Amino acid sequence: MLRVWTRFHREIVTHLVRTKIPPRTGRENNRFREFDLGQRVFAITGGGRGLGLAMAEALMEAGAKVYCLDRLPEPEPEFKVAQDRAAKDFGGSLEYHRIDVRDSQDVEEAMAKIARTDRRLDGMIAAAGVNHLESALEHSQTALNEVMQINYNGVFNAATAAARQMFEFQQGGSILLIASMSGLVANKGMTSPVYNSSKAAVIQLARSLAMEWGRHGIRVNSLCPGHIITPMVDMVFQQNPAARATWEAENMLGRLAVPEEFRGAALFALSDASSFMTGSTLLIDGGHTAW
């Protein structure tokens, strides 16, 4: 019996080492150590503003070095504010690099440069995305290609480029793909068949990559937010002013989300707190899809 327990204990300790969670010794003073991201390095596509930047701030505040990647020539002013806070108040940091997620070589080079600089890449969030409102019969091929190239190809490019660096440096990591509840339901008040289906593809991509990379210590999950007040959603309201009232009525909380309400989800998914979660879909939509 003692031999069996010793073997079991050894296996548990080995698992904790592999997942970077230190076993309890009774001497720790730090609370919620599973959320500590000190010395870790992350990349976030679509990190120049909005949801991506809000998530980047959460990782930075937990002590991480975060690279925000976006196609904006310059990040939004809110990025500079967050960057100044990082240097002043927290142990982490924020840096900005311009990339186009549609260009696989550009993405590969960016991820490789990040990993080479720090000799590691602990995780990545693929948050770059666009929407296009148009009925299926009127939807142009040009718009279809742009949405799919950014929302699906771009996510695939970012995920594989990040994983390639994790393999290169022989480490595990966590990858979070930003999908949408639009990948699970057809939203009232928003005619966007290609956008919706691109997000459904991201959900399935996360499951497939989780299956491929799980035994190598790389976890992959997807996040499906509900309606968030962002510049992309403002575009919907401009084209269909009645959409806001419709979405609020369909939501159990009676309101839309703000990007900051997904900070906790990002920290959970990218930290050791979610060490046994992969291939999962986090649905955070204010109850929109629950009735």
State the catalytic residues: 195, 199
For residue 238, give Cα distances in angstroms to 8, 94, 232, 234, 235: 60, 32, 10, 6, 5
Distance CA 102, CA 237 (A): 27
203: three-class secondary structure by DSSP: helix
Burial of 169 (0-12, 13-18, 19+ CB in 10 A): middle
Which of 257, 183, 260, 167 shows the shortest CA–CA distance to 223? 183
Q: What tokens were used for 182?
A: 């639009």
Which of 181, 211, 212 shows the shortest CA–CA distance to 195? 181
Distance CA 87, CA 3 (A): 51
Q: What tokens were used for 244?
A: 């806001």
